[in-house]
Structure 1
Amino acid sequence: MTIELIKRVSVKLASESDLPFIINDVNAILKNENVFDQRGTVKKLEHAFTNANYAGDYKAGEFSFILSDYLKGGNY
């Protein structure tokens, strides 16, 4: 999974969510993205989707687990 795919899926999931804060969080993370710290960007996205999971968006929670697994074994 590449960082570009992660970003596209993040935006798509956030825009489909019923929670208004997740799209703002994802857009802020991607706007302030540091191209030299892709791992940090993925970590921030994981945290944003974990928070959305706690607020009741279970698709976001599933994606946060995928991002967590990616961080554990991803190539950077």
Structure 2
Amino acid sequence: MSGKTAPVESYAHLWEDDGHRHRWVIWNTAGETLVFDRDINCPVDGGDETVQPEVLRRMREAGVPETDEYPGGPCA
């Protein structure tokens, strides 16, 4: 993010149940926890370090799947 901190609510699409709930996965890698977008097959911005813990908390509370395994498909 660029210098400004976006409010947590700007990430609400990651945990709201809008029919695409399982598009996003919480992926625990060896070194960090990422938000992974299965549609574009790569990690996405889950917020800067000041909002990421709350984004992840809300995603977990909403029942977003969480895995230690790579959640995407093969890269082309």
Give the TM-score, by structure 2 length.
Answer: 0.29
Structure having the higher Rg:
2
- Relative contact order higher in (CA < 8 Å, ≥ 6 apart): 2
**More strand, by proportion:** 2
